[in-house]
A and B are shown apart, each in its own frame.
Chain A
Amino acid sequence: MNRMIKFLLILTVLALGLSACGQTATQQPTPQPQTIRETVTVKETVVVPAEKVTVRLSGWASSPAETALLESLLYKFSVENPDILVKYEPITGDYKQVLLTSIASGTEPDIFYVDIFWWLELAANDALLPLDDLMAASGVSRSDFIPALIDAFTYEGKTYGIPKDFNTLGMFYNKDLFDKAGLAYPTDDWTWNDLREAAAKLTDLSDPNKPIYGFCTPPDPGRFPVFVFQDGGTVMNSDFTDTTLDSEAAVKAAEFYTSFRANQIGAMPSDLGEGWQGTLFGKGQCAMVYEGGWLIPYLRDQFPNTKYGVVMPPAGPGGEGNLIFTVAWGISANTKNAEAAWKVVNFLTSEASQKAVLESGFALPSRQALQNSDYLKNNPNSAAIFNGSFYGARPFFWGAVGSDVNDQMAKALERIFKENQPVPEAMKQAAEAIRKAMR
């Protein structure tokens, strides 16, 4: 036993030694970046000797190009407003987790992204500043923005965030596969029947190593609700106090959505070994997918040879339906420089900045005025996704138990797909689990 302890001691010493080695290895940055940083600070103090207000701004960093765009906008802002110093502190990793813990410790940034999916929890707990007075003071009106977007960030009659951009879902279709099947390209007038017929004709399972499915149906709560809306149903009731996932409209929508895979004219991305249907679309294994504008730059970078078009999702028996994904700039309720922070937010959501966002191709602008911009006229794919926001689109938001609603929707679909659970039973089970979580 004694020797055993000795051995363990040696092990721990070794482990400590190892970790120490690891640290020295990581603590060896070349001295170059430091000198660069120094010159920057020197420059700034020389240019502006006057007293500066500092505001901190955070968001997640989804891509280097998007970060570069934001930085260029902030640079423009700093030229126009030398008295305000904006510190950009992007958060990598789990954004919401970092933001919430920084709010809990009182060290949150002055300005930060708030996602449609969970912003209300912040507003309801007084962590966000109502912006109406600041908006009125600088002549910004709610009607400048697309109604569905600004309404989505309104709580008890007050505006808590200025939408910075948005996405809806469009139906991406692979032109080569349509040509191969001898089918005419889809239009905005398509219906569920057209979708089903096209999916059947596009499916080609002759090559077991590269099966081609007409339509991909992921068990994804960010896709399926579109079908519920198109069937005249909803996910939640109007004040988010109950779920309507076990209503007839929702059950029928689920039956339609899961029928593609059941009839072997559709598949889950995981059936084909991918986590995301965007990759399968690029590879030509899913002929049609419902995705947002984010797929456009992805295809440009990863699959430049895939020829595709985008139309609005085909209408169902209840008409058009779509989901709105949007992110807003929010200001912390504890900020000491509310006016400076508002100036930054106002600049970033101004028409000029929004135009830069639009032309970069990442996301769509939240300002109504840009509806008739040349960019949208020349880019029908982006225009289809922009216009989606006007046709039966609802925000991707399910109230305080949103993550439970999402989980239950995904699980209901998975049970139908993987365990052949009857659709009405699956939806009923999901609805009951959500009601339990609400209590």
Chain B
Amino acid sequence: MRTRTDRRKWVDALNGYLFISPWLIIFLIFSLISLGYAVYLSFTEYNLLRPPRWWGLEGYRRVLEDELFISKALPNTFKYVLIVVPIQTFLSLVLAFAMDQNLRFQRFFRTIFYLPSVTSSVVISLIFIWIFAPQGIFNQITGLTVNWLDDPRTAFYVIMGMNIFTTSGTLMLIFLAGLQDIPLAVYEAAEIDGANGLQKFFYITVPMLRPVIFFVVTVGVIGCFQVFDQIFVMTNGGPLDSTTTITYLIYKWAFRDTRIQMGQASALAVILTLIILAVTLLQRRVIEGSGSGAER
């Protein structure tokens, strides 16, 4: 009897693994193994042409002494996260709240807001290049003569605006799902107590959405730390390094420079991972910590 159930369990487990094997194999080959290899490479000097040579922490030292990293890529990346994440989170929450009311053409608006998220980021980048060209639509409507993407003072903000525009739709959907999880009874109780719309939003909706907010902020922060394709397409890190971020610097060292520095680029990739990990843990403490305080 006993062996039979054991066998049963085995078969079940095997079936389970069989079902997830397509994902598992791809994950192992393209994520886990390459991730491990990148960590190994970060301790080596490697130019792709000769086998990697072990040099310990030299790559990390070079990254931390690199002027482009210290004075441009690092502050730019944090600036990007600090501006984009709050705006896109707030905007998508408001959008979701509006979509949750019984508006006319609700489905139509949902589709419109979600549309940028399903469009390829390269295509959106190209559209934004044309919109913000010196003779583009934006300048023609506003009557300005700013060369948005070629001016070190404005280029980064255009990219930020574009990212907010594209990601808010997805985040709105997640918030929308969260909103529908909030029991109506709570709102009804609040109404009986005489709460107005604003109070309901801030004292019921926002606290009840805390786990969803945590999820949205975390996903947003990770995505923002890794911003790359828009910069690659729109500005190539320029003008004057004003849009160079950590991921763009990794790409530059790993592939674009005449002297390939794969080891140093890998070291920076590891550093970026550690930064993201630290920030995410910190966030969890802040959001969940304040949450338990409020509930008491």
Contact = CB atoms under 8 A, between A and B. Distances in A.
B67 interface: yes
Nearest to A272: B134
Contacts of A11: 173-174
A410 B237 CA distance: 13
Interface in A49-65: none
A32 B239 CA distance: 47
Contacts of B177: 4, 7
Contact of B49 (A4, A121, A270): A121
B135 A273 contact: yes
Interface string B124-138: 000000000111100
Interface string A1-34: 1011001000100000000000000000000000
B218 interface: no
B255 interface: yes
A436 B67 CA distance: 9
Given A4-B178, A273-B134, A104 B49 contact: yes
A419 B212 CA distance: 44
Interface stretch (A93-101, A308-316, A358-366): A93-101
Given A4-B211, A103-B48, A271-B147, A418 B239 contact: yes
Nearest to A406: B258
* Chain A binding surface SS class: helix
A325 B53 CA distance: 34
Nearest to B49: A125
B193 interface: no
Contacts of A97: 255
Contact of B133 (A101, A103, A273): A273
B49 A127 contact: yes
Most buried by A among B49, B238, B256, B260: B49
Given A4-B211, A100-B260, A104-B49, A418 B152 contact: yes
Contact of A400 (B239, B256, B258): B258
B58 interface: no
B256 A403 contact: yes
A411 B135 CA distance: 24
A404 interface: yes
Interface in B146-182: 147, 150-152, 173-174, 177-178, 181
B6 interface: no
A402 B258 contact: yes
Contact of B47 (A121, A268, A414, A436): A121
Interface string B239-279: 11100000000000001111110000000000000000000
B107 interface: no
B269 to A, nearest CB: 16
A117 interface: yes
Contacts of B147: 270-271, 273
B50 interface: yes
A186 B147 CA distance: 33
Contacts of B258: 117-118, 121, 400-404
Interface in B207-235: 211-212, 215
Contacts of A126: 49-50
A419 B152 contact: yes
Contacts of B239: 414, 418
Interface in A246-280: 268, 270-273
A400 B136 CA distance: 40
A101 B260 CA distance: 11
A415 interface: yes
Contacts of B257: 401, 403-404
Contacts of A117: 258
Most buried by A among B136, B240, B259, B260: B259
A122 interface: yes
Interface string A387-427: 00000000000001111100000110011001100000000
Given A121-B258, A403-B256, A4 B151 contact: no
Contacts of B215: 4
A104 B48 contact: yes
Nearest to B259: A400
B281 to A, nearest CB: 19
A1 B134 contact: no
B62 to A, nearest CB: 10
Nearest to A333: B49
B30 to A, nearest CB: 15
Interface string A120-132: 0110011100000
Interface string A81-115: 00000000000001011001101100000000000
Interface in A153-199: none
B212 A273 contact: no
A132 B181 CA distance: 76
B47 A270 contact: no
B243 to A, nearest CB: 13
Nearest to A10: B177
25 contacts: A4-B212, A7-B181, A11-B174, A97-B255, A100-B260, A104-B48, A117-B258, A118-B258, A121-B49, A121-B260, A125-B49, A125-B50, A270-B134, A271-B147, A273-B136, A400-B258, A403-B257, A404-B258, A410-B238, A411-B240, A414-B240, A415-B240, A418-B150, A419-B152, A433-B67
Interface of A: 1, 3-4, 7, 11, 94, 96-97, 100-101, 103-104, 117-118, 121-122, 125-127, 209, 268, 270-273, 400-404, 410-411, 414-415, 418-419, 433, 436
Given A94-B255, A125-B50, 16 more contacts: A4-B212, A7-B177, A11-B173, A121-B258, A121-B259, A125-B47, A209-B135, A270-B134, A273-B134, A404-B258, A411-B241, A414-B240, A415-B240, A418-B151, A419-B240, A433-B67
Which 9 pairs between the two chains have the least Cβ-Cβ distance?
Answer: A125-B49, A273-B134, A402-B258, A104-B48, A270-B150, A403-B258, A7-B177, A100-B48, A403-B257
Interface of B: 47-50, 67, 133-136, 147, 150-152, 173-174, 177-178, 181, 211-212, 215, 238-241, 255-260
